[in-house]
Amino acid sequence: MLDGFRSLSQTWVAKVVLVLITVPFALFGLEYYLRQGGGGGAVLKVDGVAISQSEFRDALRNQQQQMQNAGGVDSASLSSPALRYEAMNALVNRQLLLKYADDHHLTIPDQLLVDEISRVDVFQENGKFSQSRYEQVLRAQGMTPAQFEKRLRADLKLQLEQESLTTTAWVPEQSLDAFLKLDGQIRAVSTATLGSAQFLGKVKLAADAVKKYYEAHPNEFRISEQVSIQYLTLAADQLAAAVTVLPEELRKAYADPANQSRWTGQEMRRARHILLTIPNGASPAQRQSIKQHAQQLLVRLQAHPEQFAAVAKVESQDPGSASQGGDLGFFARGTMTPPFEKAVFALNKGEFSGPVETDFGYHVIQVTDIHEAKHLSLEEVTPQLTAEIRRQKASQKFSEEADAFTTLVYEQSGSLQPAADKFHLTVQTASGISKDQKTGIWSNPKLQQALFSSAVIRDHRNTPAIEVAPGLLVAARVTQDQAAMLKPLEQVAPSIEQRLEEQQAAVLARQAGEEKLKELQAGRTDPALTWSGERLLTRQQAYAGGLPSAVVTPAFRVDERHLPGYAGASTPEGGFVLVRVTQIQPGRTDESATRKEAETGLTRAYGDGAMEEFMAALRKKATIQVVDKSVLEESPQH
């Protein structure tokens, strides 16, 4: 529920504001939002409107940054054609939506534009919008208010279009009831497993089975061509360590007007609440009754505030905070739904408010702590600023040195040492590099292609300098090449024999399991089967409890009209699991919190589906031409 209250942070404007707040203006500018597209030739055309190389690079950079922030991404993914297609599709969708808005005369009222701009922290002084500050920040980025407002107005159109589809979807009550009954269904389940190991003794392989398998599957036993190499890396991160940040640079960045909001911490408040939800379709009398109950709780807690946590655990219908005594933790302005936030920030520590009505229901609120806003000193932000300036200077230095590095590696193609000497790098070595590399820098397709080219292997030349990830160049040369070969049959025969025996045992287990399942479904039980203890499970509990899909899927396919019912499936380990269901209870439809959550999820799913259909219809009628297909290839050589 706390995530629901923080819905504002998921809106388009909040996302823009996050960029405006978190990016150090003096160092990088306003990034996406203040960056002006249009540079370079056209990459594609959408109904005749050209999308520039600059716009494509910005979109791709945003995609790469999102993936890096999510973590667990290898370098090859950051330059893959799939990611480039995704960036291009985002640009196509944006242009199609803008064209639709223009064709249907969709406009953004001036007052809405003013309201959105006035809420951006960097345009405020003392908590209020400042026209002079607004113009100053934009001017520092080489942008006029008219340019900024034109782009903001366009993106507000996009938001309005998307919200008109995704937020107006409607879920019929009958559909919601059916979903809740099915999703919350409880089944009494027990299992019996026929493991493949018990059938191994019945397996008899043909005398030539191992040899035939070996000859039929040579690729399984092939050792790919491998190379040993020397290599150099030129990385922005390496350069950052050698960068000196001067005191005057720190003072300048700290004093920059565009950075001031970063040094002023937001006021944080801690609150706890009790939520009484309002059922869908509630009558005015029902709503009034719920509100009166909230008022009674408020009066009781004002007289006995020490009882708040205990009362919240019993009365609150917020599944996210009720168990915590209603505690929502600390939060700043702009994170909660507006009526809730307005009430919280109007209270002093220890004071109550309520009943406060939001889209979620009626709230009884108490503020339990307040952290006042604090202006950070230069000394306090020096580590942060130093790191930012160092990264920015290293990025500039990397751009300057990358061309020289690339040229020297190419011109002195017989050795990496000249480049190592000039750029103070160490020649490193690696071995066992193959075309099958799946992770690390050696999995980069362009680098693999270069390493295994005839010019590099036969002529002993350096590879070109290749950008394997943003800010990372690699150049290499092959010192030893080992041709592809097959492992000898004698070496792999034991593993082949074991594999074939396990495969045949799995077949026997499946056949026995299917026969046993037919008997059970025909009403013939087998006392030799060992059934597990019966468990009452919902789908969510089954998966959360670690039950494999081989059990869960058949268990919830058993026909509720014929109980006990039986089903079965092969397991990933090669066995066969029999599933018995003796009871089925439909999920409840009268729990307001669960119903609200399900309705929200289904509404979102319906809305997303409507948006996908809408975009598909626009694309079907549009003329989309890719002008420069090279941008869809992996990262080019630097």
pLDDT tens profile 519-561: 999 999 888 899 998 888 887 777 666 677 878 888 888 988 8
CA distance 210 to 219: 15
What pLDDT was estimated at residue 634? Answer: 55
Peptide bond into 247 cis (omega under 30): no
Is residue 37 over pLDDT 50? no
Q: Which of 371, 390, 422 is the last residue of a domain?
A: 371
DSSP 477: E
Mean pLDDT of 62-83: 71
What pLDDT was estimated at residue 71? Answer: 60
In a domain, 597, yes or no: no
For the stretch 105-132, pLDDT in tens is 888 888 888 888 888 878 888 878 889 8
Question: How far lies 160's CA from each of 113, 166, 169, 184, in Å?
Answer: 13, 10, 14, 35
Statement to judge: residues 9 and 156 lie in one domain? yes
For the chain, the C-alpha Rg in angstroms (whole number) is 32
Statement to judge: residues 434 and 518 lie in one domain? no
In a domain, 590, yes or no: no
Is residue 34 over pLDDT 90? no
Confidence of residue 580 (pLDDT cuts 50, 70, 90): very high
Cβ-based neighbours of 443, under 8 Å, separated by 6 or more: 74, 75, 76, 437
What pLDDT was estimated at residue 282? Answer: 77
Q: Which of 371, 390, 419 is the last residue of a domain?
A: 371
In a domain, 176, yes or no: no
Statement to judge: residues 12 and 136 lie in one domain? yes
Is residue 179 over pLDDT 50? yes
Statement to judge: residues 421 and 468 lie in one domain? yes
Domain ranges, residue 122: 2-170+603-632
Which is higher by pLDDT, 221 or 441? Answer: 221
Statement to judge: residues 64 and 127 lie in one domain? yes
Mean of pLDDT over the chain: 84
Is residue 505 over pLDDT 90? yes
Asked whether 441 and 252 are in contact (CB, 8 A), the reply is: no
Asked whether 155 and 11 are in contact (CB, 8 A), the reply is: no
Statement to judge: residues 391 and 244 lie in one domain? yes
What pLDDT was estimated at residue 291? Answer: 92
Task: Lowest mean pLDDT of 37-51, 539-553, 587-601, name the range.
Answer: 539-553
CA distance 160 to 12: 10
What pLDDT was estimated at residue 23? Answer: 26
Statement to judge: residues 246 and 383 lie in one domain? yes
Statement to judge: residues 7 and 84 lie in one domain? yes
Is residue 513 over pLDDT 60? yes
Helices (H), 71-127: 75-78, 81-103, 110-118
What pLDDT was estimated at residue 27? Answer: 24
Statement to judge: residues 34 and 153 lie in one domain? yes
What pLDDT was estimated at residue 115? Answer: 87
Count of structural domains within the chain: 4
Return the closest-CA partner of residue 364 out of 387, 347, 381: 347
DSSP 420: H
Task: Lowest mean pLDDT of 56-70, 240-254, 346-360, 597-611, name the range.
Answer: 56-70
For the stretch 183-227, pLDDT in tens is 888 999 999 999 999 999 999 999 999 999 999 999 889 888 889
For the stretch 369-406, pLDDT in tens is 998 877 888 888 898 888 888 888 888 888 888 889 99
Statement to judge: residues 199 and 248 lie in one domain? no
In a domain, 259, yes or no: no
Confidence of residue 471 (pLDDT cuts 50, 70, 90): confident
Burial of 458 (0-12, 13-18, 19+ CB in 10 A): exposed
Percent of the chain, pLDDT > 90?
35
Statement to judge: residues 407 and 515 lie in one domain? no
What pLDDT was estimated at residue 73? Answer: 63
